[in-house]
Amino acid sequence: MADTQAEQRPSAGEGRRPVILVAARFEEGHAHKTEVLAPNECGARVFFDAILAAGGLPVQMSLTDDEDVIDQYVTLADGVAIPGGPDVDPKLWGDDAPYDESLLCHVRDACELPLVRKAIAADKPLFTTCRGTQMLNVALGGTLDMDVPSIPRREGSVAHDHADLLTRTSHRVEIEPGSLLERASGSHGFAVNSAHHCCVGELGEGLVLSATSDDGIPECIEMPSRRFVLGVQWHPEYTWMTGGPDFNLWKAFVDACR
Protein backbone atom coordinates (compact mmCIF):
# COMPACT_ATOMS: atom_id res chain seq x y z
CA MET A 1 0.00 0.00 0.00
CA ALA A 2 1.36 3.44 -0.91
CA ASP A 3 2.58 5.46 2.05
CA THR A 4 3.57 8.81 0.58
CA GLN A 5 4.06 12.13 2.36
CA ALA A 6 1.19 13.64 0.37
CA GLU A 7 -1.20 10.92 1.58
CA GLN A 8 -0.15 11.35 5.20
CA ARG A 9 -0.46 15.13 5.18
CA PRO A 10 -3.96 16.40 6.12
CA SER A 11 -5.50 18.98 3.84
CA ALA A 12 -5.50 22.64 4.87
CA GLY A 13 -9.23 22.40 5.50
CA GLU A 14 -8.90 19.71 8.18
CA GLY A 15 -7.50 21.79 11.03
CA ARG A 16 -4.00 22.06 9.59
CA ARG A 17 -2.55 25.54 9.27
CA PRO A 18 -1.90 26.23 5.58
CA VAL A 19 1.81 26.35 4.73
CA ILE A 20 2.83 29.83 3.62
CA LEU A 21 6.13 29.91 1.77
CA VAL A 22 7.94 33.17 2.60
CA ALA A 23 10.64 34.42 0.25
CA ALA A 24 13.81 35.25 2.17
CA ARG A 25 15.42 38.63 2.54
CA PHE A 26 19.21 38.89 2.10
CA GLU A 27 21.84 40.55 4.27
CA GLU A 28 25.47 40.72 3.20
CA GLY A 29 28.09 39.18 5.47
CA HIS A 30 30.02 41.56 7.68
CA ALA A 31 33.37 41.63 9.43
CA HIS A 32 33.61 40.04 12.87
CA LYS A 33 37.01 40.38 14.54
CA THR A 34 39.43 38.79 12.05
CA GLU A 35 36.85 37.03 9.86
CA VAL A 36 33.85 37.78 7.68
CA LEU A 37 30.55 36.23 8.69
CA ALA A 38 28.45 34.47 6.06
CA PRO A 39 25.53 36.37 4.51
CA ASN A 40 22.12 35.96 6.17
CA GLU A 41 18.91 34.73 4.59
CA CYS A 42 16.27 36.13 6.91
CA GLY A 43 12.84 37.66 7.39
CA ALA A 44 11.19 40.40 9.44
CA ARG A 45 9.54 39.04 12.57
CA VAL A 46 6.44 41.19 12.02
CA PHE A 47 5.92 39.46 8.65
CA PHE A 48 5.98 35.98 10.17
CA ASP A 49 3.85 37.13 13.11
CA ALA A 50 1.18 38.47 10.74
CA ILE A 51 0.93 35.08 8.99
CA LEU A 52 0.79 33.23 12.31
CA ALA A 53 -1.89 35.57 13.68
CA ALA A 54 -3.96 35.05 10.52
CA GLY A 55 -3.82 31.28 10.95
CA GLY A 56 -1.02 30.33 8.59
CA LEU A 57 2.21 28.40 9.08
CA PRO A 58 5.09 30.49 7.68
CA VAL A 59 8.02 28.56 6.21
CA GLN A 60 11.01 30.55 5.00
CA MET A 61 12.56 29.32 1.78
CA SER A 62 16.25 29.42 0.85
CA LEU A 63 17.45 31.93 -1.72
CA THR A 64 18.11 29.84 -4.80
CA ASP A 65 17.97 30.15 -8.56
CA ASP A 66 17.65 26.38 -8.98
CA GLU A 67 14.26 26.05 -10.66
CA ASP A 68 13.88 22.41 -9.64
CA VAL A 69 14.24 23.47 -6.00
CA ILE A 70 11.79 26.34 -6.50
CA ASP A 71 9.32 23.90 -8.08
CA GLN A 72 9.50 21.72 -4.96
CA TYR A 73 8.99 24.72 -2.70
CA VAL A 74 5.89 25.78 -4.65
CA THR A 75 4.54 22.22 -4.53
CA LEU A 76 5.08 22.17 -0.76
CA ALA A 77 3.31 25.47 -0.21
CA ASP A 78 -0.39 26.24 0.08
CA GLY A 79 0.43 29.90 -0.63
CA VAL A 80 3.39 32.21 -1.24
CA ALA A 81 4.26 35.57 0.35
CA ILE A 82 7.00 37.90 -0.91
CA PRO A 83 8.15 40.78 1.32
CA GLY A 84 9.72 44.16 0.65
CA GLY A 85 13.39 44.98 0.29
CA PRO A 86 15.86 46.44 -2.23
CA ASP A 87 14.97 47.63 -5.72
CA VAL A 88 14.29 45.26 -8.60
CA ASP A 89 16.98 45.47 -11.29
CA PRO A 90 15.69 47.62 -14.21
CA LYS A 91 17.61 45.38 -16.64
CA LEU A 92 14.95 42.71 -16.03
CA TRP A 93 12.54 44.67 -18.24
CA GLY A 94 15.19 45.88 -20.69
CA ASP A 95 16.16 49.23 -19.14
CA ASP A 96 19.95 49.42 -19.53
CA ALA A 97 20.38 52.96 -18.19
CA PRO A 98 22.97 53.22 -15.38
CA TYR A 99 21.48 52.48 -11.95
CA ASP A 100 22.97 52.49 -8.46
CA GLU A 101 24.07 48.89 -7.81
CA SER A 102 23.95 49.45 -4.04
CA LEU A 103 20.13 49.68 -4.27
CA LEU A 104 19.76 46.25 -5.93
CA CYS A 105 19.80 42.63 -4.81
CA HIS A 106 20.56 40.28 -7.70
CA VAL A 107 20.34 37.22 -5.43
CA ARG A 108 16.70 37.97 -4.64
CA ASP A 109 15.90 38.85 -8.25
CA ALA A 110 17.21 35.48 -9.44
CA CYS A 111 15.04 33.64 -6.91
CA GLU A 112 11.84 35.68 -6.94
CA LEU A 113 11.40 36.07 -10.70
CA PRO A 114 10.83 32.32 -11.28
CA LEU A 115 9.10 31.95 -7.90
CA VAL A 116 6.37 34.43 -8.89
CA ARG A 117 5.88 32.81 -12.29
CA LYS A 118 5.70 29.30 -10.86
CA ALA A 119 3.30 30.27 -8.06
CA ILE A 120 0.96 31.88 -10.59
CA ALA A 121 1.22 28.96 -13.02
CA ALA A 122 0.27 26.60 -10.16
CA ASP A 123 -2.55 28.97 -9.09
CA LYS A 124 -1.17 29.15 -5.55
CA PRO A 125 -2.44 32.18 -3.59
CA LEU A 126 0.20 34.91 -3.76
CA PHE A 127 0.45 37.96 -1.50
CA THR A 128 3.22 40.51 -2.07
CA THR A 129 4.25 43.72 -0.34
CA CYS A 130 6.35 46.65 -1.60
CA ARG A 131 9.36 45.18 -3.50
CA GLY A 132 7.44 41.91 -3.76
CA THR A 133 4.68 43.74 -5.61
CA GLN A 134 7.18 45.37 -7.92
CA MET A 135 8.66 41.93 -8.67
CA LEU A 136 5.17 40.56 -9.32
CA ASN A 137 4.67 43.22 -11.98
CA VAL A 138 8.10 42.71 -13.56
CA ALA A 139 7.79 38.90 -13.57
CA LEU A 140 4.67 39.26 -15.73
CA GLY A 141 6.30 41.61 -18.21
CA GLY A 142 5.58 44.97 -16.58
CA THR A 143 7.88 47.88 -15.79
CA LEU A 144 8.60 50.07 -12.77
CA ASP A 145 8.96 53.77 -12.17
CA MET A 146 12.19 53.99 -10.17
CA ASP A 147 11.68 57.48 -8.71
CA VAL A 148 8.31 58.13 -7.08
CA PRO A 149 9.22 61.68 -5.93
CA SER A 150 9.54 62.78 -9.57
CA ILE A 151 6.13 61.41 -10.66
CA PRO A 152 3.60 64.19 -11.34
CA ARG A 153 0.85 64.04 -8.71
CA ARG A 154 -2.88 64.15 -9.29
CA GLU A 155 -4.01 67.70 -9.99
CA GLY A 156 -5.23 69.45 -6.85
CA SER A 157 -3.87 66.80 -4.47
CA VAL A 158 -1.30 67.06 -1.71
CA ALA A 159 1.92 65.20 -2.61
CA HIS A 160 2.67 62.71 0.17
CA ASP A 161 5.92 61.34 1.50
CA HIS A 162 5.84 57.77 0.17
CA ALA A 163 9.33 56.85 1.37
CA ASP A 164 9.75 56.91 5.12
CA LEU A 165 6.76 55.73 7.18
CA LEU A 166 6.30 52.16 8.42
CA THR A 167 4.65 52.36 11.83
CA ARG A 168 2.45 55.37 11.01
CA THR A 169 0.09 56.01 8.12
CA SER A 170 1.19 58.24 5.27
CA HIS A 171 -1.83 58.55 2.99
CA ARG A 172 -5.12 56.98 1.98
CA VAL A 173 -5.63 54.45 -0.78
CA GLU A 174 -8.60 54.69 -3.10
CA ILE A 175 -9.86 51.20 -3.98
CA GLU A 176 -11.62 50.03 -7.15
CA PRO A 177 -15.16 48.81 -6.36
CA GLY A 178 -15.57 45.06 -6.70
CA SER A 179 -11.83 44.39 -6.60
CA LEU A 180 -10.12 41.61 -4.65
CA LEU A 181 -8.54 44.32 -2.51
CA GLU A 182 -11.96 45.67 -1.58
CA ARG A 183 -13.25 42.21 -0.71
CA ALA A 184 -10.11 41.17 1.18
CA SER A 185 -9.75 44.38 3.19
CA GLY A 186 -13.46 44.88 3.81
CA SER A 187 -12.99 48.56 2.97
CA HIS A 188 -13.62 51.03 0.14
CA GLY A 189 -10.50 52.98 1.12
CA PHE A 190 -8.28 53.44 4.16
CA ALA A 191 -5.03 54.99 5.41
CA VAL A 192 -1.80 53.04 4.92
CA ASN A 193 1.88 53.36 5.76
CA SER A 194 4.37 53.94 2.95
CA ALA A 195 8.09 53.23 2.44
CA HIS A 196 9.00 53.05 -1.24
CA HIS A 197 10.74 55.18 -3.85
CA CYS A 198 9.79 52.88 -6.76
CA CYS A 199 6.34 51.84 -7.94
CA VAL A 200 4.49 49.98 -10.69
CA GLY A 201 4.77 51.48 -14.17
CA GLU A 202 3.30 49.63 -17.16
CA LEU A 203 1.22 46.71 -15.92
CA GLY A 204 2.32 43.13 -16.46
CA GLU A 205 0.19 40.66 -18.41
CA GLY A 206 -3.08 39.81 -16.69
CA LEU A 207 -2.65 42.37 -13.90
CA VAL A 208 -5.01 45.23 -13.10
CA LEU A 209 -4.53 48.28 -10.93
CA SER A 210 -6.98 48.17 -8.03
CA ALA A 211 -5.85 51.06 -5.83
CA THR A 212 -3.98 54.34 -5.97
CA SER A 213 -2.92 56.76 -3.29
CA ASP A 214 -5.02 59.88 -3.00
CA ASP A 215 -2.24 61.76 -4.83
CA GLY A 216 -2.32 59.28 -7.72
CA ILE A 217 0.56 56.82 -7.11
CA PRO A 218 -0.17 53.12 -7.93
CA GLU A 219 -0.68 51.21 -4.68
CA CYS A 220 -2.19 47.79 -5.46
CA ILE A 221 -2.24 45.31 -8.34
CA GLU A 222 -4.11 42.04 -8.63
CA MET A 223 -4.79 39.24 -11.12
CA PRO A 224 -8.49 38.52 -11.63
CA SER A 225 -7.85 35.31 -13.57
CA ARG A 226 -6.31 33.62 -10.52
CA ARG A 227 -8.04 32.75 -7.25
CA PHE A 228 -5.83 35.07 -5.14
CA VAL A 229 -2.98 37.21 -6.47
CA LEU A 230 -2.71 40.49 -4.58
CA GLY A 231 0.18 42.92 -4.44
CA VAL A 232 0.15 45.98 -2.19
CA GLN A 233 2.76 48.71 -2.23
CA TRP A 234 2.55 49.41 1.50
CA HIS A 235 3.66 47.30 4.48
CA PRO A 236 0.68 45.67 6.24
CA GLU A 237 3.09 43.53 8.27
CA TYR A 238 3.77 46.64 10.39
CA THR A 239 0.13 47.58 10.95
CA TRP A 240 -1.85 44.35 11.27
CA MET A 241 -1.61 44.42 15.08
CA THR A 242 -4.27 47.11 15.35
CA GLY A 243 -6.75 45.03 13.35
CA GLY A 244 -8.80 46.66 10.64
CA PRO A 245 -8.27 46.43 6.87
CA ASP A 246 -4.58 45.49 6.95
CA PHE A 247 -5.15 42.49 9.22
CA ASN A 248 -8.11 41.55 7.04
CA LEU A 249 -5.68 41.27 4.11
CA TRP A 250 -3.56 38.69 5.95
CA LYS A 251 -6.63 36.73 7.00
CA ALA A 252 -8.08 36.77 3.47
CA PHE A 253 -4.76 35.54 2.07
CA VAL A 254 -4.42 32.71 4.58
CA ASP A 255 -8.09 31.75 4.07
CA ALA A 256 -7.45 31.54 0.31
CA CYS A 257 -4.66 29.05 1.07
CA ARG A 258 -6.93 26.63 2.94
Q: pLDDT tens across 44-71, in order? A: 999 999 999 999 999 999 999 999 999 9
Q: What single DSSP character describes residue 188? A: S
Residues 6 or more apart whose Cβ sits within 8 Å of residue 113:
92, 135, 138, 139
Share of the chain above pLDDT 70, in %: 93
Which member of 198, 222, 235, 257 is catalytic? Answer: 235
Q: What pLDDT is recorded for position 15?
A: 82
Which member of 105, 111, 112, 130 is catalytic? Answer: 130
End-to-end CA distance of the chain: 28
Q: Is 198 part of the annotated catalytic residue set? A: no
**pLDDT band for position 211 (50/70/90)?**
very high
Q: Is 130 part of the annotated catalytic residue set? A: yes
Question: How far apart are the C-alpha atoms of 43 and 32, rounded to whole Å?
Answer: 22
Counting beta carbons within 10 angstroms of the beta carbon of residue 193, is it exposed (0 to 12), middle (13 to 18) or buried (19 or more)? buried
b/e sequence 225-237, b meaning 16+ C-beta within 10 Å: ebebbbbbbbbbb
Q: Is 188 part of the annotated catalytic residue set? A: no
Say whether pLDDT at 9 is over 60.
no
Residues 6 or more apart whose Cβ sits within 8 Å of residue 225:
206
- 229-232: strand order across its sheet: 57-60, 19-22, 79-82, 126-129, 229-232, 218-222, 208-213, 171-175, 189-192
For 174, the 3-state DSSP assignment is: strand
Q: In the predicted model, what is the mean pLDDT of residues 13-26?
A: 90
Q: Is the pTM of this model over 0.85?
A: yes
The count of other CB atoms within 10 Å of the CB of residue 214 is 17
Q: Do residues 173 and 213 touch, judged by C-beta distance below 8 A? A: yes
Which candidate, 203, 85, 199, 209, places its Cα nearest to that of 152?
Answer: 199
Q: What is the mean pLDDT of the chain?
A: 93
Which member of 112, 182, 222, 237 is catalytic? Answer: 237
Q: In the predicted model, what is the mean pLDDT of residues 123-150?
A: 96
Considering only 69-83, 156-170, 181-195, which range has the smallest mean pLDDT?
A: 156-170
Distances from the Cα of 236 to the Cα of 43, 71, 139, 207, 249, angstroms: 15, 27, 22, 21, 8
Q: What pLDDT is recorded for position 71?
A: 98
The total number of residues written for the chain in this structure? 258
Paired sense of beta strands 35-36 and 144-145, if any: unpaired
